Amino acid sequence: MSISTLQPNIGPGSDHLLRPKLHPRHEVILSVDLGKAQDYSCYTVVEATPKTTTNLAGRQLTIMTLEVLNIQRMPLGTDYMDVAAHIRDVYRDPRLWRRPASGARVGPTALVDAGGVGDGVCDIINSHMGIRPIRYKLV
């Protein structure tokens, strides 16, 4: 599967599940933290939406509001291939994809902890599953 052909996992007539992308900064973020023997692998799905508000001085500001859509923890010892496959399935969930005015589907932004074994799992997610995660390392 090439990266350019990865699409949400929807059948005919299911396009209504796609969320509209009403603002360029509107994002759905899938963040993954990997563990195995002593730490759990887990992920969080968050929707970040800009909101205009007025501060006490009367100035209008655009702030990002965050809504947690899902938090999941996988059992200790879950194989990394199983974690990667689960992340792929979550990524392809059509409820996390958006459709901007241009009509092109936009998938969630994937963030993966690349510390420790995370780099290898990122490679699996990228090369075998067609998802280009943003890699980060906590220091």
Contact indicator for 111, 136 with CB cutoff of 8 Å:
yes
Question: Tell me: the pLDDT tens digits for 91-136?
Answer: 988 888 887 777 778 889 999 988 887 888 888 888 877 888 889 8
In a domain, 10, yes or no: no
Give the HSE-up count for residue 36: Cα atoms under 13 Å, Cβ half-sphere.
11
Residue with tokens 């100035």: 59
Share of the chain above pLDDT 70, in %: 86
In a domain, 2, yes or no: no
The Cα diameter of the chain in Å comes to 53
In a domain, 44, yes or no: yes
**CA atoms of 64 and 27, how far apart (whole Å):** 10
In a domain, 9, yes or no: no
In a domain, 6, yes or no: no
**CA atoms of 116 and 113, how far apart (whole Å):** 9
Provide mean pLDDT across the span 37-45.
Answer: 89
In a domain, 65, yes or no: yes
Give the model's confidence band at 8: pLDDT under 50 very low, under 70 low, under 90 confident, else very high. low
Give the model's confidence band at 5: pLDDT under 50 very low, under 70 low, under 90 confident, else very high. very low
The tally of domains found in the chain comes to 1
| Domain extent for 105 | 18-130
In a domain, 84, yes or no: yes
In a domain, 136, yes or no: no
